[in-house]
Chain A
Amino acid sequence: MPSYETHEYDVVVVGAGGAGLRAAIEASARGARTALICKSLLGKAHTVMAEGGIAAALANVDTRDQWQVHFRDTIKGGKFLNQWRMAQLHAQEAAERVLELEQWGAVFDRTKDGRILQRNFGGHTYPRLAHVGDRTGLEMIRTLQDRGVHQGIDVHMECTIRRILKDGDRVGGCFGYHRETGRFVVFRAKAVVLATGGIGRCWAISSNSWEYTGDGHAMALWAGAELIDMEFVQFHPTGMVWPLSVQGTLITEGVRGEGGVLVNREGRRFMFERIPELYRGEFAETEEEATRWVQAVIAGRRPDARRPPELLTRDVVARAIRREVREGRGSPHGGVLLDIASRRTPEEIKRKLPSMYQQFKELADVDITREPMEVGPTCHYMMGGVRVDPDTQESTVRGLFAAGEVAGGLHGANRLGGNSLSDLLVFGRRAGQFAAESAQRNASVAQVDPDQIDQVVRESLAPFERTDGENPYALHEELRSTMHNLVGIVRTEEELHAALGKLQQFRQRSARIKVGGNIQYNPGWHLALDLKNMLDVSEAVTRAALQRKESRGAHTRDDFADSDARWAKLNLIVRQGTDGIEVSPRPLPEMPPELKKLLEEGEHG
């Protein structure tokens, strides 16, 4: 059996995006010996790609904003499936976390009176997103990175974690390998925080990078933790569609927040026809009214009109775009047109959306200050994830915590734009705090049975031992197109069953994957190992999607087109059973009356 190096810590944080960094900073500040493990280099995690902003009720631009309104918007955007306590904590603490980031050196765009500027975004009642042009994620990750550098956190870069190690029902650490050398490594720890992000690499058209292979989701499942809301996968309405090289690359919702409009091939703003009942009366009903709203926002006045329907929630906009394309009213390359050129001056566009300008100019030969962009839905974000205690972020496995995209519950059936970066800060901090406290309660690191380690070592090296077999890249492509075609934006029972059949075949084929070369920096091998996570996570999504026989938020069933009041009270829980992945419904926790009242006030006001 190959040797492995061993490290020992109080807290090991797996993943170094916003949630992981914030968790590590907090755990370390509370005296825990802390390790931060990055799958890539530090500062390259997915947070760096976040564009639009951080949602927080600072009320700098509209003084009517307050946490209660943010709470209501979040629950409504999540179609009432959110864990109320997470939504409450998130809305209450986001502003403090943003101000803290500023104290750590972040430089947000400013209001005229020198405070943090906030922009409009889909589903948010007031301008709420603290931002830096269209590169807010970079600002956030760099600020956290620079803060963390001086805090005595041990950073292990380009290290992939493969398994949570356990001692009975308690966490004992985790196991992984260094990409550079291929050498195996064991981190013994009193507490582990999963901050591994999402699962977008299971779909063909995605805004996600190679890292997003559901590592944390799968490892939590294998460790015996529960997952929640796995049927809800967010397709961002506006990804690039052409050229093929950039298909799926994200176009920030900030384009619409800055006044951009969606039109079909006939030049019609189709979103006016797609305002759902839930939002009836809250959005502009004519182009004239929508234009008035944009003009007021640009001028910095409080609008006397309702907001444009392009700012409906992502689930609604993505479905509407899909429908235009399906019904033959799409753009030349199978999307719709997003036009900011006719709404804002070239100078304003370059200033507020510099990355979008550059991205289209260099990659698509399109000048967005003069021409519309072609856009279509792209798999972007996973609402579902590890079920955690709302206050502590601890999973159902003792000592195992989760924060950020890998954790479920905050966003319910659909996440609002801007609520992700705030999620990372609020719950990253909480996970770090409670992981450190949990570690302090344990005098020693748990013992890990060496057999557990031997087993994962053997499994990891198996692809090298086959002389003939499947190419991991080819199998990955098939998985991605299967999930895209059969478990996409709109689903049916028949297609979901077909997907399960395919996944079963892929599972058998994945046991025959062969990789060439040696264990040093070998991406083919890395992908072969990541496929195991992707297959289990894909199955979890598909099985949950089969069970939810209604349409809600990001989960749309062609065969159950309406929302069903009975399902509004149920989350689906996914577990690893003895015979495979099991899904079962569980009633939502009862919301306290004072919060219920907040939602009702929203209905009437």
Chain B
Amino acid sequence: MAETMTLEIHRGDTAGGELVSYTVPSTPGMVVLDAVHFVQAHHAPDLAVRWNCKAGRCGSCGAEVNGKPRLMCMDRVDKYPAGEPITIRPMKTFPVIKDLVSDVSWNFEVNKKIPAFKPRNDRPPRFSQEEADRVQEFRKCIECFLCQNVCHVLRDHQRKEEFGGPRFFVRVAALEMHPLDDGNRTGLLKQDLGIGFCNITKCCTEVCPESIHITDNAIIPLKERVVDEFYDPIKKLFRILMPQSRPEAGD
């Protein structure tokens, strides 16, 4: 007889939910998403779950497995203790829609606040691989929103109105450090995205499935830019004297 395991999966919707147990046969190399698919096919056809690529590239299947944020398609079941149930819940920071699916639409709204790439016209689009490397790290982001899910400012303090979250600092960093971009988004970072709320606990960096150094390479350099722009005493004086030179906000 094949070995089996027990999954405890969140079932429910906006009205409430509970963990429901399912027994699933384990197969070599199995990932959590395979187990969820088995439950769908054999026990609960209406079990809601998001997934697409099943190879860690699209960032659709984020959930909390035994309390830890994971991409279910990259999470091997054989790393969990045998004989103990594996619990799967939707990402906590976002409102649940049904079962393992949560409403991540807020993220798409934040994205709209970020002004588009603004190419400089004063140089041909030539730049070195070293210059590319710096932003290519940020452009690896697959928008799984696991970093948003673990960020204290969002998860514990629910500051969704005032704060953009690590995903969008990564996105702004990709624009600000782009060798061809001519925009200035420090005003946006300070005001609309509230970068000051981040107190650099690095939780986002720890969960990033793409291993982006979110805190060190994106957030800290952006915080420094904001400080330089807004709190440098000489620049501050300059701004008081010449108010039209304020950095542009996210229009």
Interface residues of A (CB under 8 A from B): 40-46, 48-49, 99, 102-105, 107-110, 113-115, 117, 132-133, 135, 138-139, 142, 146-147, 149-150, 155, 157, 180, 209-211, 242-246, 249-250, 355, 358-359, 362-364, 471-474, 477, 515-518, 520-525, 527
Contacts and interface: CB of A to CB of B under 8 A. Distances in A.
Interface in B80-133: 97-99, 101, 103-105, 108, 111-112, 115-117, 119, 125-129, 131-132
A139 B139 contact: yes
Given A114-B127, A245-B27, A43 B135 contact: no
Given A110-B129, A474-B41, 4 more contacts: A40-B52, A41-B104, A139-B139, A363-B74
Contact of A40 (B55, B60, B74, B180): B60
Contacts of A104: 117
16 contacts: A48-B142, A105-B117, A105-B180, A107-B135, A109-B129, A135-B57, A146-B116, A243-B29, A249-B54, A359-B56, A364-B29, A520-B97, A521-B99, A521-B101, A522-B46, A524-B46
Contact of B57 (A42, A155, A243, A355): A355
A138 B59 CA distance: 11
A472 B127 CA distance: 52
Contacts of B103: 180
Given A180-B97, A524-B40, A245 B112 contact: no
8 shortest A-B CB distances, which residue pairs?
A243-B29, A524-B45, A517-B46, A105-B117, A114-B126, A473-B41, A521-B48, A209-B52
Interface of B: 13, 27-31, 34, 40-42, 45-60, 74, 76, 97-99, 101, 103-105, 108, 111-112, 115-117, 119, 125-129, 131-132, 135-136, 139-143, 175, 178, 180-181
A129 B150 CA distance: 38
A49 B27 CA distance: 25
Nearest to A471: B45
A44 B40 contact: no
A472 B28 CA distance: 26
A473 B53 CA distance: 19
B47 A523 contact: yes
B58 A44 contact: yes
A152 B79 CA distance: 46
A353 to B, nearest CB: 13
Nearest to A110: B129
Contacts of A42: 108
Nearest to B34: A245
Contacts of A364: 29
A150 B116 contact: yes
A235 to B, nearest CB: 18
Given A244-B28, A250-B55, A110 B41 contact: no
Contacts of A249: 54-55
Nearest to A243: B29
Nearest to B52: A209
Contacts of A48: 52-53, 57-58, 142
Contact of B52 (A44, A132, A243): A44
Contacts of A113: 126
B58 A49 contact: yes
Contacts of B127: 110, 114
A114 to B, nearest CB: 4
A244 B104 contact: no
B208 to A, nearest CB: 12
A150 B175 CA distance: 15
A114 B41 contact: no
Contacts of A520: 13, 48, 97-98
Residue in B119, B135, B139 whose Cβ sees the most chain A Cβ within 10 Å: B139
A68 to B, nearest CB: 25
Contacts of A41: 50, 60, 104, 108
A88 to B, nearest CB: 27
